[in-house]
Amino acid sequence: MKDLKFINKAREILKITLINLAFLLVFLELGSLGWYFVKHQQLFYTREKLQDKSALGIDLEGVRLNESIVERFHPFFGFVQKPSGDFRPGFKVNNYGFISPYDYPFKKTSKNQFVIGVFGGSVASNYSIFEVQNKILPKYIKQLPAFKDREFVILSFATGGYKQPQQLLILNYFLALGQEFDIVVNIDGFNEVALSNLNNKNNIDLAMPSLQHILPLTNLANNSLSIKAMKATVRIQENKARINQGLTNLQHCTLAACDALISVYIQNLVNNYKTDVIKFEKERTRQKDEGSVIYINTNQSVLPDSVAFDQMAQNWAKSSIFMNKVLSASNVPYFQVLQPNQYYQTKRVFGTAEKQIAFNKDTPYAKAVELGYPALFKKLPNLKKNNINLVNAVNVFDQTKDAVYVDSCCHYNQAGEVVFSNYVGGEILEVLKKK
């Protein structure tokens, strides 16, 4: 009899527990649905399934999901990406380390082909990928009768981290190899101030390639990493593997609660990753470069901001002027596009969800853009005086209510790429009409 009472009591407790658990799961799911809507401005169950891991709402700025060091030294360009035939459908990292369907130099197979060269950093690289896939710029150019039936070939000479004078040097290198262009589009401005500022703060010459990219390669070449730096590297690798797996799981969530819990888990991993990267950088910069096999121009001291940003802007403007001069000698139109960035304040109103993705109070880029972009603007009259086709795109997102930034650095999502590409295409068309 006692056993029967115990069994009945146990069943009752189990029943109550299951009911409470069910209510907990329901409330957790409802709360997660609300959290997802606030974050993404859409319902979880009717959301667009995303294949791009960088667009899942996780702040992945500074996180390299594939190889830790994808760059390789290049004796003329500073660095390029490691050539690889497996990048994404329709693209490869080609024989010169650029993301493109083609190896370089590209040789025209018919006179009907119209070659567009794209130069710059990661924003320019993303733009060229988007253009190859969607051909927005060709659609605008085809509005002119003379170009209606042309076959457009878009070639990227852009790589994440490039800044002037790298674009100028790369252009001249490929012209020397016989690369033909019909139009050249150079999209830059952000790297010239943001990355050059980091160079300055570390006593690296402003015109040298980005220290973020070049110093890790230098330390590897010199075999000069400390034990602490190597331990941080191991933790970075382990966290990166977990982040990758978490993002894969996030793509396959069928419940909002699953999305919320995994998102929190991944963001915690990302924070740990960034902490270890900072530890690695601090330890790495303690290493002496005496006897280094890589020579990098340095400054004796950190330049004052007023001097540094004027010099950055001067480097940017002079490089662009010389790109235009060398192309003008072959009657190739050159377009200088000043890219938009969230840290340069315009009339644009950011939504709550986009603010969480697009801004980082601890980023060194914010101050660099706030001080650097006005310095670039001061050089615009000189660019116009030198007959450069200038496309100032800093206000391009002002009328856009949709979220356009995908991280707290400088990159755009699909909606942003559409707006940006249409603006660039329209501006280039207007110039070509006049000519």
Express each pLDDT in 19-33 by its tens digit. 767 776 776 667 766
Q: Please count the other Cβ atoms lying within 10 Å of the Cβ belonging to residue 228.
A: 14
Euclidean distance between CA atoms 265 and 50, whole angstroms: 19
Amino acid identity at 22: A
What pTM did the predictor assign? Answer: 0.76
d(CA 404, CA 216): 31
Q: What pLDDT is attached to residue 11?
A: 72
Q: Interhelix angle for 305-328 vs 365-377, to 10°?
A: 60
CA distance 100 to 117: 11
d(CA 276, CA 64): 13
Query: Right CATH number for 71-222+300-434 from 3.30.930.10, 3.20.20.150, 3.40.50.1110, 2.40.30.10?
Result: 3.40.50.1110
Q: Within 166-226, where are the H helices? A: 166-176, 190-201, 211-222
Q: Angle CA(240)–CA(245)–CA(247) in degrees, nearest 5? A: 95
Q: Which residues of the chain, if any, have pLDDT below 70?
A: 1-10, 20, 24, 27-29, 32-33, 35-36, 39-41, 44-46, 48-70, 219-234, 277-291
Q: Provide the token pair at 126.
A: 């993303």
- Alpha-carbon dihedral of residues 312, 313, 315, 318, nearest 10 degrees? 180
Residue of 366, 270, 292, 373 lying closest to 56 (CA atoms): 270
* Phi and psi angles of residue 388, each rounded to the nearest 5 degrees, phi first: -85, 135
pLDDT of residue 21: 72
CA-based R_g, the chain, Å: 25
Task: Record the tokens describing residue 276, joined without a space.
Answer: 């270890």
Tokens of 114: 């119209």
Torsion on CA atoms 354, 358, 359, 363, rounded to nearest 10: 160
pLDDT at 285: 54
Residue 340: asked if its preceding bond is cis (omega within 30°), the reply is no
d(CA 311, CA 304): 11
- Residue 109 neighbours by CB under 8 Å, 6+ apart: none
Amino acid 253: pLDDT: 79
Q: Domain boundaries in the chain? A: 71-222+300-434, 225-287
Of 106, 253, 285, give the one whose Cα is nearest residue 180. 106
- In sequence order, the 6+-apart residues with CB closer than 8 A to the CB of 248 are 53
What's the pLDDT score for residue 17?
Answer: 73
Q: What is the pLDDT of residue 427?
A: 97
Q: HSE, CB side, 13 Å, CA atoms: give it for residue 104.
A: 28
pLDDT confidence of residue 308? 96
